[in-house]
Structure formats: C-alpha cells, structure tokens
Amino acid sequence: MFSPIYCAAGCGRLAITGSKLCAPHSADVKAEEIRICNLIKQETDVRDMNAPYMRFENEDFSGRRFYACNFKNSFFSACDFSNCSMQLTLFNFADFYNCSFKQTNLEFLSFAGARLQQVCFENSDLVNINYGGASIVNCSFNNSGMYNSRFINADMVCVSLVNCDIKRTNFIMSQRKNVSFKTSNTGEAIFEILE
Ligand SMILES: [Zn+2]
C-alpha cells in the first residue's frame, strides 16, 4: 500500500504524494490538485498515490490503472474514470457527482460512507467493493458483474441494477427506494440476516 508519510504540520493526516503536508495544510491546495492531476494523467499506472481531502472537477482519468491509492474524503465532480482498472484503492467518505466508472474493472475498493450522485458503474466488474453506509442516489450499475461486494447500511435512492450478475453481494440493512434489480440474477444476493 501507499507509504504512510504523515503531514509535517502534525495534524495526523497523511501527506499528499510529493508533498510534506496534507491538503488542508497546503499553502496552495489548488496548485497541489493540478500537480496530482498531472501525475495521474502522465502515467498509465497510478500506484501508491496519496491524495485525500482534494477536489477534482471535470477531469479525464479514463483508461488509467490505479493500484493502492488513497482518495479518502476527496471530492469528484464530472470526472471520468471509464475503462479504468483499480485495485486496493480507497474512496471512503469521498463525494462523487456526475462521474463515470463505466466499463471498469474494480477490485478491493472502498466507498464506505461516500456520497455518490449520478455515478455510472455500467458494464463493469465489481469485485470485493465496499459501499457500506454510502449514500447512492441516481446511480446505475446496469449490465455489471458483482462479486462479494457490500452495500451494508447503504442509503440507495433511484438506483438501477438492471441485468446484473450478482454473486455473494450483501444488501443487509440498506435503505432501498426505487431500486431496480430487473432481469438481474439476485439468487445469491443477501438481503436479510439469516437467523
Ligand atoms: Zn495536515
């Protein structure tokens, strides 16, 4: 995983990759965000990137391979992650608005406590993904394969999981309003705690 270098200001947060400080303690966080975006765009493989508490708007990150990255508490608006592969990457408590994860290959990701609005995960492979406690509104997972993923305690409103192959995926304690599983294979999905 990413090397844990802590913020030199002593706040206990992790420092941004290539900096001694965390985003909230950076003198020019906008410049840091531009620097991180350029780092992501210039490499196909993005490894051990540490970029929590940052803002990303209208960025094209499509086709990248992310491995062991940390974007906890970051904000993404109109960002394109389509055709990406991602492993061991953390988005806990991050905000996503109008973003695309279309045709992705995702494995061991955490969106715990994240807020996802108008996010598209269509035509993707979602393996070991944690959406625990996330708010998922107006999102689509259509035509995706899900394996061993967890929506435990998630708040799901207007979510489309049409034509999905759902294996060992856990929806217990989730709130679901206007959630469609039409033509999906839900035989192995878990909705209730078995006594
Ligand atoms: Zn700090």
The rounded distance, in Å, linking the Cα atoms of 174 and 75 is 24
Determine the distance separating the centroid of ligand 1 and the alpha carbon of 12, expressed in angstroms. 7
CA neighbor of 83 nearest in space, from 119, 110, 122: 122
Say if pTM beats, i.e. exceeds, 0.75: yes
- Whether the per-residue pLDDT at 1 is higher than 60: the answer is no
> For residues 165 and 73, what is the distance between their CA atoms, to the nearest angstrom?
30
Q: How far is the CA of 32 from the centre of ligand 1 (A)?
A: 14
pLDDT at 21 over 80: yes
Paired tokens of 38: 């350029």
Measured in Å, residue 8 CA sits from the centre of ligand 1 at: 7
22 Cα–ligand 1 center, Å: 4
Ligand 1 centroid distance, CA of 75 (Å): 17
Q: What is the CATH number of domain 44-180?
A: 2.160.20.80
116-159: per-residue pLDDT in tens?
999 999 999 999 999 999 999 999 999 999 999 999 999 999 99
56-79 pLDDT, tens digit per residue, is 999 999 999 999 999 999 999 999
| Span 10-27, average pLDDT | 96
